[in-house]
Structure 1
């Protein structure tokens, strides 16, 4: 019994570690290779170089070497004394990069305070330059906006729609439709696969902890999804819409603000668990079609399918949303059923055996 309790305790610790690693900012030190929900070089901090992969990568301090970052959001607000290679949903340079910049993303912005000392190569959907580029620039994007504060000391080769303050370019301006074509399409798929692999590993660890800690409850979630998908989906939609409304209503009152903050963190965790449970349920259902009943294999199959769907534009996202609704709905129904059962047991009269037979308290 003691060994079983110790194992459960270790699993709980592992689960907490996963949650912390995925949500709490991670501070780098020295020459760093870092993965996390948020990777930060804090203001006043100095590191030799940085290779980072996470939800958000922020450089507020100083990196004396190069920075390579893949993230949903990459922000350079401090000083990078070497080169910058960045891939993200959005890349923002609001500090100084003394070397070259190679960036690809949905949007790339060089703010009024942003300075690039070397050459600049960008492939993105939208590019805004309002800062200083001290070398040549090659920019490929659907829209390239040069702000009033922009300054490009060298030549500008571009592909796309160039707008704004073209007088900011001291050198020659040349249109070349091939610019950025070889950068964005090659880097962005790699970033997408890296994100998918990172999320898959986190989901596997969380799912393994859930199956080990709550095997019967986890099987019940999968059963509800397969036996009553409409009920689970509607319940999931109610939770996904209703809980944020409730949290906002709590935040309106001063006394409810702390509860709304705690509730928001708890809701994010519940959504994450709902994603994992939904994919586990789909994996279990698919395996049941071929007569396989392994919950661990179901978890792996479901998570791999979910990760693959995430790489498919629009359709994949809609299917994953449906899986989320099924998972979070079945989770909510299961928790509610468990609560009702516990309440019913509390209200049932306790029975004992007296000298004259069974008695009721």
Structure 2
């Protein structure tokens, strides 16, 4: 499941989005410099995926068009992003102008200024944007969660719909319940909600003739709608912070990063288990040490290092994944290539951070991977010394 939210009325102005969202793709473009392996990485000023991809696809470009089927998941970012071919897995997309015009067999997570869904989504859809449209003929087989400035639902939702925006227009069908927080709600003739409507807003909206509601209609008055949550700015901030931290770690501790990458390459699952063990053992050990006069300084030190371990572990995991991929290729690529892959990994982790519950679990596993890899690198260095 994937999710994201943004406060109605607090969507960044389009002029700001116009500058910031392309930066997400251009960071990857500038750092990579060359196209990665076709089955996994694509980047460039104008990227067109025209041959089938038999693996997960990571893509970034100022203009990005996916016009060939992808047998796996897609993680993509670009100023203009157009998905024209089917995806067999999940799709995680970020862009300024974003159009989903081909089926997605899994879940959809999308962050955009202008988002138009024109196809079928077999799983759940979690989206945010200044303007969000589920076009006529489009279908979502699971639940639909959307937030932003204006949301128009003309297609069909087989599950429940949770919508939060300044303006929400319903002209399609919802097989489940409709939960909507909106300053302005329009129910157009022909709309059909099989379940109930729960509306939060400054004023109630009567159900007009021609609108079919199978359940009850509930209204909760609230003048100031507050649906703050992660959105575009959070995505960019998370990616930038992680990328800068990773560069600092790479500059200060290059040997540690190299050793961590080797540890991840040898046994990634083992590194995750070691990291989880450290995350579980260190807090009670630090508390026990603090109860003794002699161990108090060490306990305080462990507590401080534990707090530092989360961002550091995440940065090392991202760097390790980027460098370990180079090692599997059996050759040393240019530093820009490694940094380009690191930028794509930070994009993936930033998008994962938008996912409620499962996103937290994913980030925890990434932190554990980084900590376990660092522990392995330190032990190997001591043995070698």
> In terms of Rg, which structure is larger?
1
Give the TM bin, normalised by the shorter chain.
Answer: 0.3 to 0.5
Could you say which structure has the greater relative contact order, defined with CA pairs below 8 angstroms and 6 or more residues apart? 2
